[in-house]
Amino acid sequence: MTGRIGGGEGLSLAAVVSLTTLVCGLPLALLFAVGLAPEGTVTLAPLAETAGSRSVQRALWNSLESSFLSAVLASLAGTALALVIGLTNVRAKGALVFLVLIPMMIPPHVTAIAWSQALGPASPVLQWLGLAPAPGSPHPVYTPGGLVALLALQHMPIVFLVVRAALRAFPRELSDAARVSGARGLRRLTRITLPLLAPALLAGFMLAFISALGNFGINALIGIPARYTTLPVLIWRRLAGFGPDVIANVALISVILALVTLVLVVAQGLLQRGMRNALVGLPQQPLAIDLGRMRGAIEAALWAFIALALVLPATALFATALVKTYGLPLAADTFTLSNFAEILFRQSVTLRAFANSTFAAAVAALLIAAISVPLGYFLIVRRGLARKLAGVAAAQADVAYAVPGLVMSIAFILMFLRPLPVFGVSLYGTLAIILIAYVGVFLAIGLKSVTAAYVQIDDSLDDAARVAGAGFARRLLRIYAPLVAPAAASGAILVFLTAYNEVTVSALLWSAGNETIGTTIFNYEDGGYTTLAAAMASVTVFATVLVMLAVNGLARHVPPGTIPWRD
- pLDDT tens-digit readout, 199-240: 888 888 999 999 999 999 999 999 999 999 999 999 999 887
Q: Would the pLDDT of 429 be above 50?
A: yes
CB neighbours of residue 314 within 10 Å: 20
pLDDT at 280 over 50: no
Higher pLDDT pick, 89 / 306 = 306
**Per-residue confidence at 126, pLDDT binned at 50, 70, 90?**
confident
Confidence category of residue 164, pLDDT binned at 50, 70, 90:
confident
pLDDT of residue 14: 92
pLDDT interval class at 160 (50, 70, 90): very high
Q: What DSSP letter does each residue of 407-441 carry, written as one string? A: HHHHHHHHHHSSPPTTT----TTSHHHHHHHHHHH
For the ranges 42-51, 72-81, 254-263, 551-560, the lowest mean pLDDT is seen at 551-560
The pLDDT value given to residue 342: 95
Confidence of residue 288 (pLDDT cuts 50, 70, 90): low
| pLDDT above 70 (res 284) | no
Which pLDDT value is given to residue 163? Answer: 87
Q: 463-508: per-residue pLDDT in tens? A: 787 777 777 788 888 888 888 888 888 889 889 999 998 999 999 9
Find how far residue 240's CA is from the centre of its chain: 25
pLDDT at residue 385 in the model: 87
Give the pLDDT band of residue 551 (cuts 50, 70, 90): confident
Q: What is d(CA 118, CA 125) in angstroms, rounded to the nearest whole number?
A: 7
Mean pLDDT value across the chain: 86
pLDDT tens by residue, 333-371: 889 999 999 999 999 999 999 999 999 999 999 999 999
> Does pLDDT of 285 surpass 60?
no
Which positions ≥6 away from 441 have C-beta within 8 Å?
400, 401, 405, 408, 505
Yes or no: domain 53-320 corresponds to CATH 3.40.50.10490? no
383 has a pLDDT exceeding 70:
yes
Percent of the chain topping pLDDT 90? 51
Q: What percent of the chain has pLDDT over 70?
A: 89
pTM greater than 0.85: yes
Whether 290 shows a pLDDT value over 70: the answer reads: yes
Residues 279-295, mean pLDDT to the nearest whole number: 65
pLDDT of residue 561: 62
CA atoms within 13 A on the CB side of 435: 16
Cβ-contact 229, 12 below 8 angstroms? no
| Confidence band for 73, pLDDT divided at 50, 70 and 90 | very high
Q: HEC string of 176-219? A: HHHHHCCCCHHHHHHHHHHHHCHHHHHHHHHHHHHHHHHCCHHH
**pLDDT at position 87 over 80:** yes
In the prediction, which pLDDT does 169 show?
Answer: 67
Q: What is the pLDDT of residue 329?
A: 81
What pLDDT is recorded for position 536? 96
Which segment, 137-141, 523-527, 551-555, is predicted with the most confidence on average?
523-527
| Closest by Cα among 175, 162, 270 to 208 | 162
| Interval 31-43 mean pLDDT | 82
Identify which has the larger pLDDT, 329 or 437. 437
Lowest average pLDDT, out of 35-49, 262-276, 432-446, goes to 262-276
